[in-house]
Structure 1
Amino acid sequence: PVQALKQHLSGICGVPRFRQRLLCGSSCLQDGDPLEPSLELQLIFLPYAKSTQEQVRVLRLTAGQGSAEEVEQILGRPQDPEEVAIEEEDLFGALPFGYFGAEIAETLAVTPLFAAAKNGHIAVVHLLLEARAHPDKGCRQCTPLVKACAQGHAEVVQTLLQSGADKDRCGESGYGNVTPLAISCEHRQEELVRILLAARAEPDKYGDVDVTPLARASRRGSVAIAGMLLAAGAEKDKDSKQTFKLRFQEERTTGWTPLVEAAQHGHLGVVRLLLEAKADKDKLSHGRTALVKACEFGHVGVASFLVQEGADANRATNHCTALSWATRLGRLDLAGLLLEAGASTGEDGENLPPLSWACRLGHLAMTCLLLEARADVEQGCFKPLLEASQNGYPEITRALLHAGADPNAGSFIPLVEASHEGHAEIVKQLLAARADSLKRGQSDLTALEKATLRGHQEIVDLL
């Protein structure tokens, strides 16, 4: 038929069939007409017809709805497949976000190819690409390939790549300006990751938001995708420095290595895979190791595996240690595991020992466990006895005093703080342990003066 000849000619002359006209004498042949042998034909190339905004809008809407037959008719005008238009309602909706004038049109207007790719209309995508729509033209923020990956349309992704779409070009997808591979990993799209890696997508490229594809796959717990990325040569220990811009233009950076991401979210399978790939189990990522993050989020299975693989139970910089997190969460299972692995009961990056954390939060069983592990009852500026006395945990103060805690040590006085807060039973314990009732605290007041000011008559009588 005529259409097949036009497609053949398109490959020779570079003009899509929609702009070709074949004349036989005075007759213009239609695409569905059969071709007779030995015909003398005349080939004419037409420029794109001038389109109104309404015609441009109709093509975009028709493409987005997947109406292949209507799209083919519109392209046959012939109409430029890359023209964009913006609706008045779109313009109105953008105003609160600070866009003005021409910038609005550039921001919101999308190509027909983008609309078709977004909704997975493969037949329309084929037509638009045949009409020489550029495979990377979508809108200012995003490409058709990134949008198709975000929506999980594997056949569309494959077609765009075969048409020369840039496999590593970034686009906005709701997770920052990211690559097609990164957004596919975020959505756990195994087939898309396989397609993109087969097309030699860069395994470590991510976009403006500095979270690598492997870190995203690790965060999402996809062993299969993480395995594909490692096989493609993805860097297994790369930090993901994700930047957030807050009020007054202040920037904060956070993010983790793939191993820390997997540990934080409790994905034991990914942790196992990364360690098998020789990921650094003790690498500090913004001051935290994988073991620290596993303990911070209470993942005992991951923590146990990391300890079993030889992770350092004491490694941390300027942050809570793994044992401090276990103590803060009141997780005896984690604390016991870490103590058996040689975790130190000393101060962490926040200058508060695990024993002080247990006393501050009222974890009696945790306090007893740490005391059995010979935790120092006098360590830290905010000593364990001070924390228990101030927060009103008499069972804990009793255990600390029995372990030899000095009621008069430190610049913050337990008796003064207990009197201030009205904890009469603890005041009795401290006095029985020979606490000095005349010592003055940071406010330069004695325990009696504090109790008097706060109206704690029972404690005034005791003192």
Structure 2
Amino acid sequence: MGDSPGPAIGKLRISSQLDSEHPLTAHVPVTRFYTALVTGDLRSLEVLTDRYHQDVNLVFEISKNELEWQVKSQASYGVSGLWALEQRWERSTPLCLAAHHGHPAALRHLLRRRAHPDLAPGAQGPLHEACRGAHTDCVELLLEYRADPNLRSEEGLAPLHLCTTRDSLGCARLLLRHGAAVDLPSTACGETALHVAARHGLSDHARLYLQRGARVDARSARGETALGVLCATAPGAGQDCLELCRLLVAHGAQVDARDEARRSPLHKACGAAHAGLARFLLLRGADVNAIDYDGLSPLGLALQSAASRARRRPHLTVQLLLNHGSQRIWPPAFVKVLRSCAAVPEVIEVLFNSYSQIPVSQEWTEAVPEEVFQQHQPFYKSLFQLAGAVRCLQHLCRSAIRENLGSRCHSLIPLLPVPKALREYLLLEPEGAVL
């Protein structure tokens, strides 16, 4: 006997406007099958498969018009070009379509008629599609019919990598119950399911994976641990991220684990202006003065990203680091900070007040754009008026106390028997002006 024939291919032209040269009526049987799968029309599926013997392992080719950047010449390196509408073809199967749209009844009908549970002519298989859509019923059906829980997609992702929403927790449980490898790395970036859970802030998923033996400090191709991924992205509500951070550390995650760029989770939390995560890491012993391959400390990254993270109140991270003993930047480099952080004056104020005395020069006034100066005029007027002047006695006393306490400012100043306003002053709480 010869090899069995491969799956039939039905070509569909799916677009918002159809021209007369490609009338859809020429493909009525295929389009009816496609429509029934997308809508979950079980009655039509029964008629098409049982009466008209429509192939349940049919492969659809669906045209999808997308805007693509077309480079004019190889020498232009993408700088010169134009946007053009390009036709792209995507392949799919009946099972993939039913799983993608979350139709378990249609899926069961196809599987009972010997649809192959792992047929994946396109980028992803049926199980991937079901997990991406968090369709637990569909995942359960496919696994009952022995779909491979570790099958990788064209992108090198296993189904577990596509459990990226809270609603997909049931899918993850089913996959693990049916033999999914909890530490299977993705082909391209080497991330495990725990990395994915960390990136999306999924505490329950992470807890499930850790209970199933996931390695808490498994490294991706870039040398990142799940804790590092979490601190770099910290999605969702801050409290959720903090809960996940606590969970990872409680299971032994290294707070100072470095990636290939020698950046620690603290570097990443500070670069993302997540003061809550940074505080937690510092209290767990993270190195406040760790240096990456670019020579940047967590404070350096916090300052570098402050302007783009203005809504996250980056001054809180800067304040936190200074109160935990972070080394300050070289005074002559302060003008560079002013240029990059002028739009977030709270950052400038906190950093400026961490020095007992730092000379204010004419170059500083030139570093602040006029529109920023006008927007924050009270603060910048008070700052520039200190040119050639000595800071007030109150500030000098603050500096002396902070110098004496050093890296213990964060823990000892709150214990001082002084009014709350004075404790906040000693901890560099911004006031909107400097004296």
Question: Shorter-chain-normalised TM-score: which range?
Answer: 0.5 to 0.7
The aligned amino acid for 1:324 is G
- Deviations 1:141-168, CA, capped at 9 Å, x for gaps: 1211111111121011011011111112
Q: Distance in 2 between matches of 1:333 and 1:92?
A: 47
Q: Alignment partner of 2:98: what SS? A: helix
- Does residue 1:221 correspond to 2:196, yes or no? no
Q: Alignment partner of 1:208: what SS? A: coil
Q: Map 1:310-389 onto structure 2 (within 5 A).
A: 310-317=285-292, 318=294, 320-327=296-303, 328=306, 331-346=314-329, 356-358=336-338, 361-362=341-342, 369-370=350-351, 373-374=354-355, 385=361, 388=364
- 2:265 counterpart residue number: 290
- 2:105 counterpart residue number: 123
Q: Map 1:48-447 onto structure 2 (within 5 A).
A: 54-77=28-51, 78-86=53-61, 90-91=62-63, 93=65, 96-97=85-86, 104=89, 107-108=90-91, 110-171=92-153, 178-185=157-164, 189-204=168-183, 205-241=185-221, 256-263=224-231, 264-265=233-234, 266=238, 267-285=241-259, 286-317=261-292, 318=294, 320-327=296-303, 328=306, 331-346=314-329, 356-358=336-338, 361-362=341-342, 369-370=350-351, 373-374=354-355, 385=361, 388=364, 390-391=366-367, 395-396=382-383, 399=386, 401-402=388-389
* Partners of 2:341 and 2:347 within 8 A in 1: no
Q: Distance in 2 between matches of 1:235 and 1:402?
A: 57
Q: Distance in 2 between matches of 1:136 and 1:65?
A: 22
Q: Alignment partner of 1:189: what SS? A: helix
Offset at 1:237?
2.6
- Deviations 1:399-434, CA, capped at 9 Å, x for gaps: 475569xxxxxxxxxxxxxxxxxxxxxxxxxxxxxx
Q: Alignment partner of 1:158: what SS? A: helix
TM-score, reference length from structure 1 = 0.60
- Deviations 1:44-88, CA, capped at 9 Å, x for gaps: xxx9xx9996544433432333233332333334443212344xx
- 2:415 counterpart residue number: none
Q: Distance in 2 between matches of 1:390 and 1:306?
A: 37
Structure 2: gaps of 5 or more residues: 11-26, 67-83, 308-312, 369-379, 392-435
TM-score, reference length from structure 2 = 0.63
Q: Distance in 1 between matches of 2:125 and 2:48?
A: 23
Q: Distance in 2 between matches of 1:208 and 1:188?
A: 26
CA RMSD in angstroms, aligned pairs only: 3.7
The aligned amino acid for 2:201 is G
The aligned amino acid for 1:150 is R
RCO (CA 8 Å, sep 6+): is it higher in 1 or 2? 2
Q: Alignment identity in percent?
A: 26
* Partners of 1:182 and 1:213 within 8 A in 2: yes
Which protein has the larger Cα radius of gyration, Structure 1 or Structure 2?
A: 1
* Partners of 2:63 and 2:87 within 8 A in 1: no
- Deviations 1:247-287, CA, capped at 9 Å, x for gaps: xxxxxxx7943212322424111111111111111122334
Q: Distance in 1 between matches of 2:9 and 2:50?
A: 12
* Partners of 2:132 and 2:164 within 8 A in 1: no
The aligned amino acid for 1:199 is H
The aligned amino acid for 1:163 is Y
Distance 1:274 1:374, change over 3 A: same
Structure 1: gaps of 5 or more residues: 1-46, 242-253, 379-383, 405-463
